[in-house]
Structure 1
Amino acid sequence: MDADHAAAVATGLVWVAEQGQRVVGLLVLEIAHDHALIENVAVSPDAQGLGVGSRLLALAEQQAGERGLREVRLYTHEAMTENQEYYRRRGYRETHRSRGSGFQRVFFTKDL
């Protein structure tokens, strides 16, 4: 991941999930005037299936709700079909697809 998350860290919009002394998950959230955007959510391969991702998504939704926002958005690469199904199972719906930064992306939203 090439993203520079310094600004998000400075504003307190980055969270990590830990297992013992290890970081096993990451959430980077951006707040817009009418929605929250999950800029990045990632779970270590050896921690997948343990509920880490679900807890991080729930945290994003909680943070959005606490700020009076009624929508959470996210996107993933078109090739990440397992991620797409994962988001659908958690109540996110696909809104559109577009190419950006050389990648074909699939965009999702969830109403809170």
Structure 2
Amino acid sequence: MIEIRPIDASFQRWDALLALILSSFAYMDDIIDPPSSAHRLTLASLAQKAHDEIAYVATDETGKLVGCVFCKPEAATLYVGKLAISPDHQGKGIGRLLLAKAEEVAANAGLRALRLETRIELVANHNTFARWGFVKTAENRHAGFDRTTSIEMQKQLS
């Protein structure tokens, strides 16, 4: 049984959360350029991110952190970032549960779409997000790059 709960002032498992994010993003290390911003996270910056945004964790029946998502309300969309599922729990529907929570956050804020960015090289991620109702809306490049490094995708909510 997976439980989704908000990261609030009582949350103290920053080490486990950072480890979860880094382990779930590790497969990207030899694929994407520039490196993932996950590598710049520290315990303090992660705690600040959770304070500044709306964040949730997923735990399994043993209480182990197995997923997370960070949501940031924008003018017209809810930005979904750091959607991370532990490698040994991927493919079990946890990502969908966390995105459903993001949809709930968006609806409560009166926002009609979710927005995310994924690296251009991560075609499997593009396909997964497309299956979940996201469509490509833009191509972006990181500072200093003369090529597309990421794509933006949105999911319209009813």
TM-score by length of 1: 0.90
Q: CA deviation at 1:39?
A: 1.9
Q: Does 1:100 align with 2:145?
A: no
1:81 is matched with 123
Equivalent in the alignment of 2:155: 110
How far off is 1:33 after superposition? Answer: 2.1
Q: Compared with structure 1, are the counterparts of its residues 98 and 12 closer, same or farther at alpha carbon in structure 2 (3 Å cutoff)?
A: closer
Rounded Cα–Cα distance in structure 1 between residues aligned with 2:110 and 2:49: 19
The 3-state SS of whatever aligns with 1:5 is helix
**Amino acid in the other structure paired with 1:17:** A
Go from structure 1 to structure 2 and tell me whether the alpha carbon gap of 1:7 and 1:31 turns closer, same or farther (over 3 Å shift).
farther
* 1:8 correspondence with 2:49: yes
Structure 2: which 5+ residue stretches go unaligned?
Answer: 1-37
Corresponding residue number in structure 1 for 2:97:
55
Q: Distance in 2 between matches of 1:79 and 1:54?
A: 22
Worse overlay, 28-37 or 12-21: 12-21
How far has the Cα of 1:12 moved from its partner?
5.8
Count residues with an aligned counterpart: 112
Larger fraction in strand: 1
**Secondary structure in structure 2 of the residue aligned to 1:100:** coil
1 CA distance for matches of 2:74 and 2:87? 30
| C-alpha deviation, 1:11, in angstroms | 4.3
Larger CA Rg, structure 1 vs 2? 2
What's the C-alpha RMSD, in Å, of the aligned pairs? 1.6
Q: Which has the higher helix share?
A: 2
Contact residue 140 and residue 151 of structure 2 kept, 8 A: yes
TM-score, with structure 2 as normaliser: 0.66
Alpha-carbon distance in 1 for matches of 2:47, 2:95: 22
| Counterpart residue number, 1:27 | 69
AA aligned to 2:141 is: R
Q: In 1, Cα distance between the equivalents of 2:97 and 2:70?
A: 13
For the 8 Å contact 2:53–2:72, the answer to whether it is kept is no
